[in-house]
Structure 1
Amino acid sequence: MGYKVMELVCIIGAGFAGSVVARELAEAGRRVHVIDKRPHIAGNAYDEYDAHGVLIHNYGPHIFHTNSERIFEYLSRFTAWRPYEHRVRAVLDGKTYPFPINRDTLNQLYGLNLDEAGAAVFLERVREPRDPVLTSEDVVLNSVGRDLYEKFFLNYTRKQWGLEPSQLKAGVAARIPVRTNTDDRYFTDTFQAMPKDGYTKMFEAMLDHPNICVELGVDFEDVRDSLRPAHLVYTGPIDAYFRYCYGRLPYRSLRFEHAHLPGVQRFQEVGTVNYPNDFGYTRITEFKHMTGQQHSGTSIVREYPQAEGDPYYPIPRAENEALFQRYEALAAREKNVTFVGRLAQYKYYNMDQVVGAALAAAKQIIG
């Protein structure tokens, strides 16, 4: 395996963080060995054609959006793009409404005819002012009041996180805007697009460099004692790296239920439909909306949040942050090891934020 080559940089994880660092270091002349315990590259962004020939995201929908021209241009070296603006609906009592909440949501839900100013007045009237705003419950009540909170957010949060909104830091709910206009896009970032040939193809291009060697199906824990790289880049869960010496950091996992519907052109009107109050799943995503693929059938995925399984989301709570900081202090003392990515930094990063963190990490390693 050649793990003992001294000038080698070993990267644990072939997702966004690991792959971006690998490419940057390879271009700077370093020899890079990437390992991943899964049988594929691209981490949770991995996509492939299912048995029916539909391009699907195996680990749930990944929608690329960023305000950073630098990051968009960086990734553009490895893929062409398909413009795509994600839209979401939420189902309440069998009816679908635009989500995030906008003026149309209010008018449809309450049988009103508000203009933009009227929507602002309505929200000001129903909101429950909170000061200070500390939790996700505070954020939503402060913004839209009790009824909209209970209809759209309360039960969805309980399903998604296994916690009450009052137990989560404000940043979770702050990710979701509320609008007084009729903009029904989920994101309003300057750059919104999907890799034209899929994420996996983009990662293949990123890792295609003579200085990069990729080895899949290798668990870091099984080989760590034989690794002797000049530098190690770790993108897995930080608590796992330190063998849970302070206990486990809480992560939320997901179970994905994929289905193909033969002969169905369109299953739903938009890419993702949320089910805040019904069923065990939080949402259904239909992939053809995102990829633009033409196919006689369609493929969907239902997402069931759960406590056990692969770590997907760091759970943003003050006590978890405090535990992470203890691990972070250990990480700071590690020689020639860089921790980067959602799991290694215990941050609820978007994809573009991971790319930004990886570019910064690579720059630091290169010196």
Structure 2
Amino acid sequence: MPQGPFRTAAGVGRAEHPWCDANAVQGIEGVDELGTAVDYTLKSIEHGIENNVRDRYDVIIVGAGLSGCTIAERLSRELGKTCLVLERRAHIGGNCYDYVTEHGIRASKYGAHLFHTKHPRVWEYVKRFSEWIPFDHRVRGQVAREADNTKTLVAIPPTMDTVNALFGTNIKTEEEMEAWYASERIFPANGADPANGEEAALTRVGPRLYEAIFKHYTKKQWDKYPEELDASVLMRLPCRTSTDDRYFNDPWQALPKRGYTRIFENMIGNDANVDVRLETDFFEMKRLGTLPKHDLLVYTGQIDTYYAALGMPKLEYRSLRFEEEYIEDTGDDGLFYQEAMVVNYPGADVPFTRIVEYKHVPNQPEGRHERPGTLIAREYSSAEGEPYYPVPNPENRALYERYAELAAKEEGVAFVGRLASYKYFNMDEAILNALEVFDNFMETGVLDPKRAPAEFGAA
């Protein structure tokens, strides 16, 4: 593999192209309060509910992820509200939680998280809690060539280079690429809208790319073939007409210099108005009648769990299972296992969906890129485990609406975030939604979302 500080293929896994210049990344933005404070302790965060809990809080917040921490931070810093944040896990940060392993590699407990946003407000907000290293995420996929069925590494989402590599074409311009897509696409009869995910995919990329990259990957991810899912799932498949192989196109793409957990520590870890209690079950406290008095409750957990006592059907979620492996000697120069941080395996012949190699990212502890040994995580989709993705189909949507009707009648309780809204939010969307909840409180005195979940991004 090419030599250099990252020793990976050009542009893959690098923060930016000038990375090699003096081994320094240019364009770092933001402030890390924890890193600049003379005396900084995480005095707000404790395990268990036994000690140092006040008799009364302005707001109790269930969940210490993006939504809960953003609302707690805003209520405290802007309005001086006292908040009790209850988290059943042993850490803050929700699914963004990361840590440094015994081998000195920063890893994410719940899978790779790549921050990107097109919202100036979100970017300005997150810069208050971390230094951010520019990082253009690039994904590769092991995909079979049409001619001989041999696997090759191509850019995902597919680009001009992807199509040329898989199908033996010689497309050179964006106009030729547009024409290729036009020749491939298949539309429903009589001008009807796509009725399901498969029809949506065929209108976007045509049958060959659909079969090669999207069909079986979707089945592994959702345990449903695209024809069993809403059209919205695949309606927004990216159709790249250039050689731009960045996974995201948003103007701000970056990684927190010292990891995501540090952001949450800066948000609520040393706030006199905020108490955080880990390994604490909100429902058990509610059952025992031990919740402190409070004016408002913000609930960021699963909405069907909140109403479990009613005996209604459960909403369907997909989870992820990670098979981690530390590799001391990868061969070659011994530094990396694969070409990029994320390599997808869209074929039906492999049970996992992708392999993540954390060592590629630029926010690893100092010097870790140059030392042998690497950590990989094979990612499997599962019906069991922590809920990650709502399953978008008509049955689940109808069931969620029943829960949403109940939530709308719940006085003094705001249902906020991905699980409470049964809606997949990107990280920036979760933050923006929480900021708008705070806006609404400032304007109306009501702690509720300003917009319906469906108004954020893809379904």
Cα deviations by residue, 1:45-93 (Å, 9 ceiling, x for unpaired): 0000112110001100000000001101101100110111111111123
Report the CA distance shift for 1:358/1:268 in structure 2 as closer, same or farther (over 3 A): same
* CA deviation map 1:84-132 (0-9, x unaligned): 1111111123211111011101111112211221111111111112330
* Alignment check: 8 A CA contact 1:12 1:35 kept: yes
1:14 counterpart (60, 64, 69): 64
TM superposition shift of 1:133: 2.3
Deviation digits for residues 8-44 of structure 1, max 9, x if unmatched?
3111000000000110111111100001110000000
Secondary structure at 2:361's aligned position in 1?
A: helix
SS in 2 for 1:8: strand
Q: Report the Cα distance in structure 2 between the residues aligned to 1:289 and 1:33, rounded to whole angstroms.
A: 37
Q: Please, which of 358, 363, 382 is the counterpart of residue 287 of structure 1?
A: 358
Distance between the aligned counterparts of 2:214 and 2:127, measured in 1? Answer: 35
Q: Distance in 1 between matches of 2:197 and 2:211?
A: 13
Equivalent of 1:170, from 226, 231, 242? 231
Match of 1:118 in 2: 176
Q: Partner residue of 2:277?
A: 215
Matched, 1:321 2:409: no
Match of 2:211 among 132, 137, 150: 150
1:290 CA displacement = 2.3
Contact kept in structure 2, 1:39 and 1:217, CA below 8 Å: yes
Residues 1:358 and 2:358 are matched in the alignment: no
For the aligned residue pairs, the C-alpha RMSD in angstroms reads 1.5
Paired with 2:236 and 2:383, the residues of 1 have a C-alpha distance of 22
**Where do 1:117-266 residues align within 5 Å?**
117-130=175-188, 131-207=192-268, 208-225=270-287, 226=289, 227=291, 228-243=293-308, 245=310, 246-263=312-329, 264-266=334-336
Q: Which residue of 2 aligns with 1:82?
A: 133
- CA displacement 1:166-186 (0-9 Å, x = unmatched): 122233223431111101011
| Kept after mapping to 1: 8 A contact 2:204/2:237 | no
- Partners of 2:274 and 2:294 in 1: CA distance: 14
1:25 aligns to 2:60 (yes or no): no
Whether the 8 Å CA contact 1:272–1:284 is kept in 2: the answer is: yes
TM-aligned CA deviation for residue 221 of structure 1 = 1.6
Q: Which runs of 4+ in 1 moved over 3 A?
A: 1-7
Please state whether the residue corresponding to 2:420 is helix, strand or coil. Answer: coil
Cα offset, 1:189, TM superposition: 0.3
- Note the residue ranges of structure 2 that are not aligned, 5 or more in a row: 1-48, 145-150, 446-459
Q: For 2:138 and 2:297, how far apart are their aligned partners in 1?
A: 39
Higher relative contact order (CA 8 A, sep 6+): 1
Gaps of at least 5 residues in structure 1 are none
Q: Give the CA deviation at 1:292.
A: 4.3
CA-to-partner distance for each residue in 1:111-160, whole Å, 9 max, x for gaps?
22112211111111111123302422122100111121111011100000
CA distance in 2, matches of 1:99, 1:349: 21
Q: Distance in 1 between matches of 2:314 and 2:321?
A: 20
Q: 1:18–1:235: 8 Å Cα contact kept in structure 2?
A: yes
Q: Percent identity?
A: 43
Deviates more, 1:66-75 or 1:127-136: 127-136
Distance 1:38 1:26, change over 3 A: same
The answer (yes or no) to whether the contact 1:4–1:229 under 8 Å persists in 2 is no
The number of aligned residues is 367
1:340 aligned residue = 416
Paired letter, 2:278: L
Whole-angstrom distance in 2 between the partners of 1:137 and 1:290: 34
2:161 to 104, 109, 117: 104
Deviation sequence 1:175-226 (CA, Å, 0-9, x none): 4311111010110001000111100001100113111111000112211232
CA contact (8 A) 1:10 1:231 kept: yes
SS at match of 1:343: helix
Deviates more, 1:126-135 or 1:216-225: 126-135
In the superposition, relative to structure 1, how do residues 6 and 230 fare at CA in structure 2: closer, same or farther (>3 Å)? farther
Match of 2:22 in 1: none
* Whole-Å separation in 1 of the counterparts to 2:53 and 2:81: 14
- The answer to whether the 8 Å contact 1:44/1:59 transfers is yes
1:303-352 per-position Cα deviation (integer Å, ceiling 9, x unaligned):
11011111110111111111001001110111110111110000111011
Letter in 1 for 2:256: P
Q: Distance in 2 between matches of 1:3 and 1:336?
A: 21
Separation in 2 of the partners of 1:365 and 1:230? 13
